[in-house]
Amino acid sequence: MQRGLKKEAKRLEEEKKKLERERKDERITVEREEKCITEEREAKRILDDKDLENAFQLKKLQLKFENKYRPSERVAIPNPKLKMRHLMQKFDPKEGDISLYLVLFEGQVIRVEINEDLWVCYLIRCHS
């Protein structure tokens, strides 16, 4: 009987050691996986930062290139025979309809044969 108890105690002790080893192995595995996930996140963050920096540098170069080859912002507006101020009233946002105003403006600039590229300049000039 004692012999059976000793065998049972030994078996239980071995079972306990086995469970402890398994728990330790699981803990190590979990720690490795967590470390791997952390490293992957850090690598992704670094790549995202580099992508963002590259996009910023590319945009910076594009703007630099555009500014280098863009004509000056000051466009000389030729004086038409009739000044637009005399053809159009200033737009009153309290009482006017912007859609109607723009349709009338378009009609006037077409009538006095102003180049379409300059319409915005003339529209701004009407209100200055």
How does pLDDT run across 39-82, given as a tens digit for each residue? 999 999 999 989 889 888 988 888 888 877 666 555 555 565 55
Q: Which two tokens stand for residue 75?
A: 């466009």
CA distance 98 to 35: 62
How does pLDDT run across 9-31, given as a tens digit for each residue? 889 999 999 999 999 999 999 99
Closest to 122 measured CA to CA, from 94, 99, 113: 113
* Better-predicted residue by pLDDT, 49 or 125: 49
Calculate mean pLDDT across residues 91-114: 85
